[in-house]
Copies of this chain bind each other. A is one copy, B any other.
Amino acid sequence: MTDAADTFRDHVLPSDVEAVRDLVRDTGYFSAEEVAIAAELVVETLARGEASGYAFLFAESGGRVVGYSCYGQVPCSTVSWDLYWIAVHPSQQGGGLGRRLLRATEARVRAAGGLALYAETSGKAQYVSTRAFYEKSGYATAGVFADFYAVGDAKYTYCLRLDG
């Protein structure tokens, strides 16, 4: 698939393990455990391919990964997909790359037959811009789970219907 304004790449390269680790860490949004998990999903996808259940979309600028999404069909669902990760390097934020990455990811899920894309984030103040990002992008709040990540840290589940 081609996307007009950005260089988007679907296939996963060995160098993406380091690229994802650096990118996710540099955002400053994620814990060390989350950074490790983000990189581990790349490792697992390199090892197992489609059987991993994860798909990736990388945004590149000057040969460098400046944003990415990780998504996949929910196991045992025929229609629902999860957006596991979406991150844009701080140097590229504010230019709409996150939105373009999100739209390009949705297009891929829709093309694969997905009817809904789910995204989860925290209810903490730190994530107010993340929640605003999904809400402005048309995602509905499908569920709120109090004290989910920690006491006082809720999980927000967002959903975009792709059949509308």
Contact = CB atoms under 8 A, between A and B. Distances in A.
A76 interface: yes
A92 to B, nearest CB: 25
Interface in A44-87: 74-80
Interface stretch (A2-10, A19-27, A30-38, A125-133): A30-38
Contacts of A149: 76-80
Interface string A141-164: 011010111110000010100000
Contact of A115 (B34, B74, B151): B151
Copies in the complex: 2
Contacts of A31: 76
Interface residues of A, number: 24
Contact of A145 (B33, B75, B143): B143
A116 interface: yes
A61 to B, nearest CB: 29
A74 B77 CA distance: 20
A116 B147 contact: yes
25 contacts: A31-B76, A33-B75, A33-B76, A34-B76, A37-B75, A37-B76, A76-B149, A77-B148, A77-B149, A77-B150, A78-B149, A78-B150, A79-B147, A79-B148, A79-B150, A79-B151, A80-B145, A115-B147, A116-B147, A116-B148, A142-B143, A142-B145, A143-B143, A143-B145, A145-B159
